[in-house]
Structure 1
Amino acid sequence: MKTKILLAGLFAGISLAGFAQSKSSLPVPAAVKAAFEHQYPGTKAKWEKEDGNYEAAFTSKGVKTSAVYDKSGKLIETETAISGDAFPKAAKDYIAQKKLGPVTETAKIIKADGTVSYEAEIKKTDYLFDAKGAFLRAQKD
C-alpha cells in the first residue's frame, strides 16, 4: 500500500514538473538569440514570450534590464529600471494627483526607433508616460 501511495505521489510530481516550463528553457529562435548575444555579449538572460515576442530579462552593469525582440531577431524595445529621481516630475505629479498609490518600480523604455517613454508599476498595473511625463495609458500586468 505504501508503495502505491509513493508511486502515485512520484507520478503526480513528475506530471506537474512537465507542465511547469522554466523560463530559461523556453525555445528561443536562433535569430533572437544571435541578436541578443550581439547586443549583450556573454550575458545570461531569462526568456519569456510576451505578445508573440521574446523578452530577455537580465542585469546589465548592475541594473535590472529587459530587451524585447520579434521572432526574426529585430529589437523592439529595451526597458531599464531607474530610480524615482530619474522619473519625470510630470509623471510623479500625475500619480500624486490621481492618488494611484505607492510606486513599486519605475523604468525607462526606449523603442528601437529611439522613442523614450517611462513606466511606473502601481498595484500590479503599469502606468505609461511619454518622454515629458504626460500620461499615455494604464495596462494590467
Structure 2
Amino acid sequence: MKNLILVATMAISTVGFAQNKEKKEVPTVVNEAFQKEYPNTKVDWNIEKDSFEAEFKMNGKNASADYDKAGHKLAIEIAIKETEMPAKALAYIATTYPNKKIKETAKITDDKNVVTYEAEVKIDGKDMDLIFDVSGKFLKLLKG
C-alpha cells in the first residue's frame, strides 16, 4: 500500500513538473523592449498564442501593450472614459444596441500609428468588443 501511494505521488509530481516545464516565459528581448519604452514600470505579462501582452498603468490609466516574439510592439491599448469615444461611435452603440451598457472603453494605437476605439458591451450574454475608427465609423465586432 505504501508503495502504491509513493508511486501515485511520484506520478502526480512528474505531471506537475512537466506542466511547469512547458510553461512559456516572456523572452528577454520582449521584456527589454517593454522596459526600454516604459522604464521602471510594474508589469504583468500575459502570454497569448502569438504575442505577449504587458498590462501596466500609464498616467494612472490601465494600459496594455502587445509584443511579438522579436520584441516588436504591435499595439498599445489605453483605457479611456466613455465620453472620450467619438460621438458617432456612441450614437451607433445607442442605436444598434439600445439598453446595452458600455462596460469598458479604450483607445488603441497599432504599430503603424492607426488609432481605433473599442467599446465592450454584453451582447446575448457574451462580452463583445465593438471597434470604431477615429471618426466613429463602426469597423467590426469581436469576441471580448
Question: Scaled by the length of structure 1, what TM-score is found?
Answer: 0.81
| Residue aligned with 1:107, SS | strand
Matches of 1:65 and 1:81, distance apart in 2: 6
- The corresponding residue for 1:109 is 108
Q: Where in structure 2 are there 5+ consecutive unaligned residues?
A: none
Residues 26 and 48, structure 1, Cα contact 8 Å, conserved in 2: no
- The corresponding residue for 1:87 is 85
| Residue aligned with 1:129, SS | strand
- The corresponding residue for 1:138 is 141
Moved over 2 A (4+): none
Matches of 2:112 and 2:128, distance apart in 1: 25
Q: CA shift at 1:50, angstroms?
A: 2.6
| Residue aligned with 1:38, SS | helix
Matches of 2:76 and 2:31, distance apart in 1: 15
Matches of 1:91 and 1:52, distance apart in 2: 30
Residues 26 and 47, structure 1, Cα contact 8 Å, conserved in 2: no
Q: Deviations over 1:56-78 (max 9, x none)?
A: 01111211000000000001000
Q: Where in structure 1 are there 5+ consecutive unaligned residues?
A: 1-6
Matches within 5 A, 1:1-141: 27-99=25-97, 101-123=100-122, 124-141=127-144
The percent of aligned pairs where both chains have the same amino acid is: 42
Question: Scaled by the length of structure 2, what TM-score is found?
Answer: 0.79
